[in-house]
Amino acid sequence: MPSSRHNLGPAVAVLFLLCAGGAVSWLLAAPALSGPAEPGYDIARMVFHYSTLPRLATALLAGAALALSGALFQQVLRNPLADPTTLGVSAGANLALVVASLFLPGLLGAGRDVVALAGSAAAAAVVVSLGARRGFSPYSLVLSGLVLSLWCGGLAAILTYLNQKYLASLFIWGAGSLAQQSWAIPLSLLWKVAAIAIICALVIRPLSLLDLGESTSSALGVKLVRLRVIVIACAVTLAAFVTSAVGVIGFIGLVAPTIARLAGARRPAQLIFWSPLIGAALLFFADATLQFAAGGLSNFLPTGAVTAIFGSPLLLALLPRLKIRHRIQQAPLRKRSRRWDAKVSIAIAAAVLTVLLLLSISLGRAVGGSWTLVFGDYFRDILVIRLPKIFAVLASGAMLAVAGAILQRLTGNEMASPEVLGISAGSTFGVAIALFAIAPGFSGQFAFAVIGATLVLLVILLGARRAGFAPERVLLAGIALSAMVDAVVGVLSSTGDPRAVLLMRWMSGSTYLVDGTSAALEVAIAAVLITLALAARRWLDILPLGPAPSVAVGMPLAKARLALFGLAGLLTAAATLTVGPLSFVGLMGPHLAREAGLTRAMPQMIGAALIGGGLMVAADFVGRTIVSPYQIPAGLVSALIGAPFLMLMMRRRA
């Protein structure tokens, strides 16, 4: 048992959350328990006994399991950003359950846990294998997890989009619904979590020795490979059990260990002991508050989304006090062959983009499904429909890629992008407010998207300013804000409002409603903003050298950072209006440009713009033809195309 001298802070945090949740739970229980023994009150007691109480018990168990999973991941991988969400484990389980629900429903009858565990294990195997090739560096692990999470989420979204009548209920469940009708799920979770907790108790001592370093712990007899396999298996299993039972509840596995550290849990044993208690209390309080505030609607509102709304501001408020020992470092650049210079790489990218444009314009599928080239009398009619969509996605992909290149150079972190830092989510939030408030046209949606992206950027900058824009703090702030904004959008989408259908279509990156006017505006905005980004190439070449050299050469550091962050926000807001927030191009484009040898600011931005535009054109072409006459949104297809390529590149560079 951890020393009581160090446990006052974590104990106070647990006690506060439990008391708050208990008080709200009592408000829920009082009407059912204090009424007379009449038929109406008997029904209320039955609802309380078989629905409310099991739901609160499930919240306690799920919160404890996710927090323990996050603490185990963070300790064994030496990564304070690791949890089932950032490592893609929960997304893998969710994808496996969606695929089984659609194609192999018999597997769900045999055991949902087995299906979820298979998906989680596959996701963890991919992420850990990539991390192992780079010495389990925090950068490679979190980047691999985010890539895989986005890929799994995109594929699950495509399946849901194509089979909405079969998978409509998975939307609320996938966002983390704790609604219960019996004690079956909490009792099942109880023994499963208890069994894993016993195994974790047996490995606490060797796990604690990892703080001494790998060489020292090996000298003391710790079998590092065996220990990692056991601990990761326990963490993956816990996340799979929770996902199988209640869906994806993000953020708990990240915020609970963070609160435990800030409250005073320094040693690994203390962290593993207190994190599950804090996670259980946090989810218990969030779900009790949801039930009290929403009443009968609480069964239709995803608790996972509401938890993110509660937890994100808490993590942002505590972020300035967090001392992160495991710093995320930018991966060193590989030496390039001299035969490939910037001009050759850019020329190849431009040639590939030209071929993609010609194929996308002229090639399609006929009514019977056969491939055909467009020519003759129908060519002009097809161009009127097809050209606006092609040039809109081309401009959007180029803008996202340039925004990603700017953010990566500003933060000194290859993992920075509009998707990861929450800027795309901020634009989504702005568009959601526009749709639900006044439903404006393109100009109004663009204004709201810019406001949302700018607000997210300002919050990130304010939160990271005291730490000198340290990459890990910027990432934590971005993850927190992205989770909060996505949660708000998820709550809006689960209300059943008809406008939610429009929001979901827009979030998927569908170009169905793009016309000539909106495409022309998108291209014009892209031309202006990318020109401004290229004009700032000197700043972007100097900033990666550090604050002191930048000031020494006469650059106005604060103004330059503010202007570049604002420019990245404008690029992101304009692009997400066409391809949605899930495109992944803002992370993919700069990486592939760097892989092509484009390391200086201007060549990298030009190459990233060509690659990002080409990726979106290819995604639009594939989405339009692969399941013709139906269309898959280009934003989702781009994530499915980009993620495997990026992970392959990471494996080659390991």
With 0-12 / 13-18 / 19 or more C-beta atoms within 10 angstroms meaning exposed / middle / buried, residue 45 is middle
Residue 638: pLDDT band with limits 50, 70, 90? confident
What span, in angstroms and rounded, lies between the C-alpha atoms of 281 and 531?
A: 51
Q: Do 356 and 290 lie in a common domain?
A: no
User: Which of these three, 292, 321, 350, is where a domain ends?
Assistant: 321
Q: Do 317 and 361 lie in a common domain?
A: no
Q: Which residues pair with 373 in a beta bridge?
A: 363
User: Which of these three, 252, 287, 321, is where a domain ends?
Assistant: 321
Q: What is the span of the domain harbouring residue 242?
A: 4-321
pLDDT over threshold 50, residue 302: yes
pLDDT of amino acid 400: 92
pLDDT of amino acid 113: 83
Q: Do 147 and 239 lie in a common domain?
A: yes
With respect to residue 397, please indicate whether it lies within any of the assigned structural domains: yes
Q: Do 410 and 521 lie in a common domain?
A: yes
Residue partners of 474: CB distance under 8 A and separation at least 6 = 411, 413, 416, 421, 460, 464
Residue 585: pLDDT band with limits 50, 70, 90? confident
pLDDT of amino acid 47: 73
DSSP reduced 3-state for 468:
coil
Give the number of other Cβ atoms within 10 Å of residue 211's Cβ: 14
pLDDT of amino acid 334: 44
pLDDT over threshold 90, residue 532: yes
pLDDT over threshold 70, residue 58: yes
User: Which of these three, 321, 354, 383, is where a domain ends?
Assistant: 321
Q: Do 315 and 352 lie in a common domain?
A: no
State how many domains the chain has: 2
pLDDT digits (tens, 9 = 90+) for 404-450: 999 888 877 676 778 777 777 788 888 888 877 766 666 777 788 88
Mean pLDDT for 74-87 is 81
Mean pLDDT for 496-502 is 68
pLDDT of amino acid 402: 94
pLDDT of amino acid 465: 65
pLDDT over threshold 60, residue 4: no
With respect to residue 333, please indicate whether it lies within any of the assigned structural domains: no
With 0-12 / 13-18 / 19 or more C-beta atoms within 10 angstroms meaning exposed / middle / buried, residue 5 is exposed
pLDDT over threshold 50, residue 528: yes
With respect to residue 327, please indicate whether it lies within any of the assigned structural domains: no
Position of tokens 């050759």?
Answer: 344
pLDDT over threshold 60, residue 97: yes
Contact indicator for 220, 209 with CB cutoff of 8 Å? yes
pLDDT over threshold 60, residue 542: yes
Mean pLDDT for 27-42 is 57
pLDDT of amino acid 471: 56
pLDDT of amino acid 529: 94
Residue 376: pLDDT band with limits 50, 70, 90? low
Closest CA to 24 of 379, 399, 295: 295
Which segment, 57-66, 121-130, 484-493, 567-576, is predicted with the most confidence on average?
57-66
pLDDT over threshold 50, residue 141: yes
Q: Do 358 and 250 lie in a common domain?
A: no
DSSP reduced 3-state for 68:
helix
pLDDT over threshold 90, residue 399: yes
With respect to residue 405, please indicate whether it lies within any of the assigned structural domains: yes
Mean pLDDT for 230-240 is 90
Residue 336: pLDDT band with limits 50, 70, 90? very low
pLDDT over threshold 50, residue 207: yes
Q: Do 292 and 389 lie in a common domain?
A: no
pTM for this entry: 0.74
Position of tokens 């994806």?
Answer: 248
Q: Do 294 and 387 lie in a common domain?
A: no
CA Rg value for the chain: 25
Q: Do 308 and 425 lie in a common domain?
A: no
Q: Do 504 and 472 lie in a common domain?
A: yes
Q: Do 236 and 355 lie in a common domain?
A: no
With respect to residue 556, please indicate whether it lies within any of the assigned structural domains: yes
With respect to residue 328, please indicate whether it lies within any of the assigned structural domains: no
With respect to residue 335, please indicate whether it lies within any of the assigned structural domains: no
Q: Do 111 and 213 lie in a common domain?
A: yes
With respect to residue 198, please indicate whether it lies within any of the assigned structural domains: yes
pLDDT over threshold 70, residue 398: yes
- Provide the CATH number for the domain around residue 449: 1.10.3470.10
